[in-house]
Amino acid sequence: MSERDNANLLGLALKKRLGAGDLILCLTVRYSRTVEIVQIAKLAGYDSLYLDLEHSAMTIEASAQICLAASMAGILPLVRVPGHGHHHISRVLDGGAQGVIVPHVDSAAEAEAVIEASCYPPLGSRSLSGLGPLAGLSVDTENAYRLINENTLRIVMLESPKAIANADEIAATEGVDMLLIGTNDLCAEMGIPGRLDHDRVRESYQAMADACKAHDKAIGIGGIKEGPMLQDIVAMGGRFIMGRVDSALLGQAAAKEKWPISGHSRPRIGPRRRRDRLSP
């Protein structure tokens, strides 16, 4: 089998799609613990899923099982790690993730540490532990390093005013594939919690988009699922969208079925948006 024939290199394929301008929708998996979530994502048409180890009690073992199933199903498996440590990043990659999402990256130095932990030499210092997505491919060690480095999707999250101010130097970091704003945390840091449609949010995305375009990096969107702000960011070049959390999707579907049957009005699922004025 040649490297061209290896359909398991999903990260490389998705990078090419992003480069071609395709919109990518990624399911957020926070509460599911078994591989059935992969079938749901596949049938629903998601391009990718990410397992949220930052905001859940999910174990690395559970994430590894879901990553393997996703790879076999042709859905790119990503993991959002809980921190910047190499022991977080390298272990989820060894477990089958074909990319990592690293939260709270505020500087080029922190971005460089992500590359150090997630890349094999010469880009980083990750140690080789099995072939992962190269399983079944006849390839020597030197090319294995190169192929897995090329295939691994490395996403850094900008979630503070400091990170936005440093967006250009973060985007210039070799090995970083995408910058993605965690909009809810950014709003909290800016003192405008929940104001996802605020002008400062739009300005932050524009600053990140300018940096990404200058350094040929993909633009990711976190926390904004619909509405005019999402359309504005897509117009800026945003192409990777973090979709809704699995539990939120289940809650919405359950409410849609239950409340018409019971004769009551449908409850709101999730936090209420802040309004400029109180309704009468």
Q: Which amino acids are annotated catalytic?
A: 55
Which amino acid would we find at residue 255? Answer: A
CA proximity to 106, closest of 33, 173, 26, 200? 173
DSSP assigned state of 177: -
Which amino acid would we find at residue 238? Answer: G
Instruction: Write the DSSP assignment of 29-90 as a string of letters.
Output: ESS--STHHHHHHHHHT-SEEEEESSSS---HHHHHHHHHHHHHHT-EEEEE-SSS-HHHHH
Instruction: Write the DSSP assignment of 201-224 as a string of letters.
Output: HHHHHHHHHHHHHHTT-EEEEES-
By the 8 A CB rule, do 60 and 81 touch?
no
Q: What are phi and psi of 40, to 5 degrees?
A: -60, -45
Rounded CA-CA distance 139/221 in Å is 36
